[in-house]
Chains A and B, each alone.
Chain A
Amino acid sequence: MDFSSVLSGFTVAFEWQNILFCLLGVTVGMLIGVLPGLGPAATIAILLPVTYNLEPTAAVIMLAGIFYGAQYGGTITSVLLKLPGEASTVVTALDGHALARRGQAGPALGIAAIASFIGGTASIILLTFIAPALAGVALAFGPAEYTVLALIGIFLVGTLGNGSVIKSAAAAAAGLLLATVGLDPLLGTPRFTFGTDQLADGIDFTIVAMGLFGVGEILYNLEHRDRPQTGVPSFGRAIPSRLHWLQSRLAILRGSVTGFILGILPGGGATMSSLVAYAVEKRTAKDPSRFGKGAIEGVAGPESANNAAATSSFIPLLTLGIPANATMAVLFGALMLQGITPGPQLMSDHPDVFWGVVNSMYLGNILLLILSIPLIGLFVRMLKVRPGILAPITVVITMIGTYSIRNNAFDMLLVIGLGLLGYGMRKLGFEPGPFVLAFVLGSLLEASFRRSMRIFGGDVTEYVKQPVSGTLVAILVLTVVIVPLLRKVRTRQTAGAEAAGVKAD
């Protein structure tokens, strides 16, 4: 690799106007991340005209900053209000919000910021050294591989729940069912659209997440607002204690690597990464029952993973010209408007843009960490606001965010409807987590399965015969069948041994 261009990228990234645009980008990103529903894709689209007259590198540095800055900001609402604005922060909401309810919002957000910083930075370092080699990873994943990957994801969703397994499965099944709404992905036949074009493209993930989690949670809390608040002390402290750090440092490490690898996959990589990171933490934990009730690792793992994934999702865009998600699609557009075609020739034709943008991310992550600490202290104070005041404000902001996704009023009705569903689910003890994640993975699974079956001419054995999907099938069998079986055998042995011990006494 040509290191002189990497180094000259630093010169580009540290030009004063580029530093300024980086700061501007990450600040805007962090703020819109905090506003539920208003996602980075919509914001970048709104800001596109502003970038016309900018120099290409400065423009992309700023827009990229909005994207990864939003990942930091999105965590704040997930933790404080249980309002995940992105699929990748859904699992953060589980333990993050539980921590906030226990009065540990500050440390939870502090660890999240540090995890995000480490995940993001580790990912840039990996990107710098192996990005060109990894371009092929994105291509090795075709419909067959996504089918198995989505299947693994759906089984992992099962590990999220804490309550009854049957209720988790029922919620996940309902999520899968909701994913079928819209035009059939292969044939275009309308399904459950009730004759309206509004549902033709299915339901946007953000709407499902904000409805079930956000609005549902608000309704549930309003009902319980007469109850005394279960202690909301010490939220000003954003710097986590030594104990928190010790508990989460390995989670951050594992999350960074998971996130980096899965983030390269266009389509569902970031969501899968946070889910996998959470599942790994829960399974390796000495006491998995802490998860869902406020385990700091449950915040640290997924947060480092989704930030690492956000960074590595630039790889397919910058090396192949393939946008990995909606935000990357808009960034793709921004580059095209600048007369630069993202793709295989970007690195050789415009090394200054490529390395300038990549290296600006180091700075961006540092700026975000510095910005986070005081802002967390500020945002955590939101919890002091009485629910009677906070709830309507949150609903209004959620509605604005919902409208901004497609500039469509129908979506606001949907979010209210889903909010009522979320409220009903909470009342009856169903968890929204499995529902929302099954919803995301359901569309991926269905479309990929049907595509791959067409490609294979209906031969199911091809999933095992193809090298990459075959490996994934092996992982699936290992995690879903063999490990649980072994664990069961071991628990039985331990139980047997204990029983024997009791007898001996």
Chain B
Amino acid sequence: MQHPLPRRGLLAGLAALPPLAALSACQVQGGADEANASFPTRAVDFWVPFDAGGSGDLISRAVAKAAEEPLGESLPVTNKPGANGAVGLKELLAGKADGYTICLAVKSLFAIGPLVVDDPDAVTIDQLRIITTLTNEGYVLVVHADSPYQTLEDLLAATHVNYGTTGVGTGSQLSAGLLFGIAGVEATDVPFDGGGPTVTALLGKDIDAASLSLAETMPHIQAGDMRALCVFSEERSVYLNEVPTALEKDLNILVDQRRFIVVPADTPDDVVGVLTLAFEDAREGGEYGQFLQDNYMERWEVDGIEAQLHLAEATEQFAAQIAESGVELGTAE
């Protein structure tokens, strides 16, 4: 049989909505008259609109590997980097909406990008359909271990702060910008080209502080080279339980990065159903779970509609906060 009965797939399918479970069963039995039964008959291309080796690339490879068994086809990963993910997504939209090409997407492109760059041709979330949500990655504000700033209060009492960011239109820039803006601290942002160079600059004491992802900072925090002052998530991170949230300090800042997989909006429902089921199953995999834990990522597992709602709300919330705090992202020199 071409699609061997996936054990975990069946369990997940039974646990999920009954119609979807039925779809899955049809696929497994190979019913020729059902449209979904013929999907997939060949490999599904998994595009990553970022460079190889980055967090987005690694998550994609981990989840793609786990999805091969439930989907019954291989999912070769191709990197299509450019413009914070916009190049890959535009190419996805220009292609066929048949489900044979799926693409990773990130929250920052939709929720922060439009606030920084005025692009009338920007990809919007309405043009896409979310087949599965993957991770929620928090940001943590760090200083060098030798820094005189022991706590967030110390840092916010400074006369001037140079803070590094991982680039324009990133959660790193937004979270730190909002922090110093709302707290009214005189601060200069120094954008670097990604997480690695920002970490280097902080370890080299070229900058005073930076807001970075847990994956980028945890090894250095554990090695005692960096000190975490606050996190920007709603609740404390499970990986950094002793570090307070900005909310606890009465600073209303909530910034995170979330990753999900999309197809063009007009992809047939049954095809989306098959893909959604396969990835629900993939997320259950032990190796994928281990990968998330090794990289300090938290799960974000909601349905497509809720995810789209979250993205729309985040955009509005960020726009309002930026207006309120008077922070300028990517416009002031």
Contact = CB atoms under 8 A, between A and B. Distances in A.
Interface stretch (B31-39, B130-138, B184-192): B184-192
Give the size range of A's interface with the partner: 35 or more
Interface residues on B, range: 35 or more
A244 to B, nearest CB: 39
A219 B290 CA distance: 53
A222 interface: no
B188 A454 contact: yes
B203 A407 contact: no
Contacts of B168: 183-184, 186-188
Contacts of A200: 82-83, 86-87
A321 B220 CA distance: 9
A141 B204 contact: yes
A329 B51 contact: yes
Q: Which of A138, A142, A184, A188 has the most CB of B within 10 A?
A: A188
Contacts of A408: 80, 82, 87
B54 A329 contact: yes
A406 B82 CA distance: 8
B294 A341 contact: yes
Interface stretch (A43-51, A84-92, A269-277): A43-51
A333 B53 CA distance: 4
A343 B219 contact: yes
Interface in A171-203: 183-190, 195, 197-198, 200-201
Interface in A36-55: 41-42, 44-45, 48-49, 52
A41 B53 CA distance: 9
Nearest to B223: A344
Nearest to B89: A197
B62 interface: yes
B280 to A, nearest CB: 22
Contact of B117 (A138, A188, A201): A188
Contact of B53 (A198, A323, A406): A323
A155 to B, nearest CB: 24
A344 B203 CA distance: 12
B188 A457 contact: yes
A442 to B, nearest CB: 14
Given A339-B290, A407-B78, A186 B206 contact: no
Interface stretch (B175-183, B193-201, B233-241, B265-273): B193-201
A150 to B, nearest CB: 14
A406 B80 contact: yes
Contacts of B117: 183, 188, 190
Given A186-B191, A187-B331, A197 B90 contact: yes
Given A343-B219, A454-B162, A455-B162, A266 B200 contact: yes
A337 B193 contact: no
Nearest to A139: B204
A485 interface: no
A345 B219 contact: yes
A413 B77 CA distance: 24
Given A187-B331, A344-B225, A323 B196 contact: yes
B333 A345 contact: no
A479 B278 CA distance: 62
Contacts of A139: 200, 203-205
Contacts of B5: none
Interface centre among B51, B52, B57, B220 (most CB of A within 10 A): B52
Nearest to A443: B193
Interface in B59-118: 61-62, 65, 77-83, 86-87, 90, 116-117
Nearest to A187: B330
Contacts of A455: 162, 188, 190, 206-207
Given A187-B168, A188-B168, A197-B82, A140 B90 contact: no
B291 to A, nearest CB: 7
B13 interface: no
B264 interface: no
A336 interface: yes
B315 interface: no
B58 interface: yes
Nearest to A41: B52
A345 B116 CA distance: 37
B207 A198 contact: no
A326 B219 contact: no
Given A187-B333, A198-B87, A321-B219, A454 B51 contact: no
Nearest to B332: A187
A337 B169 contact: no
A320 B78 contact: no
B52 A45 contact: yes
A183 B62 contact: no
A103 interface: no
B295 interface: yes
Interface in B269-296: 290-291, 294-295
A331 B53 CA distance: 7
A318 B317 CA distance: 40
B36 to A, nearest CB: 27
B201 A332 contact: no
Nearest to B218: A341
A499 to B, nearest CB: 54
Contact of B52 (A42, A336, A339): A42
A385 B83 CA distance: 42
Interface of B: 51-54, 57-58, 61-62, 65, 77-83, 86-87, 90, 116-117, 121, 160, 162, 167-169, 188-193, 196-197, 199-201, 203-207, 219-220, 222-223, 225, 290-291, 294-295, 330-333
7 shortest interchain CB distances as A-B pairs: A188-B168, A142-B206, A45-B52, A329-B53, A200-B83, A333-B53, A139-B204
6 contacts: A197-B82, A198-B87, A321-B219, A323-B196, A334-B53, A454-B188
Interface of A: 41-42, 44-45, 48-49, 52, 138-144, 183-190, 195, 197-198, 200-201, 266-267, 316, 320-323, 326, 329-334, 336-337, 339, 341, 343-345, 406-408, 447, 451, 454-455, 457
Given A337-B61, A344-B223, 19 more contacts: A42-B52, A44-B52, A49-B65, A52-B65, A140-B204, A187-B191, A187-B333, A188-B117, A188-B168, A190-B117, A200-B82, A266-B197, A321-B219, A333-B57, A333-B58, A333-B61, A343-B223, A407-B79, A454-B190
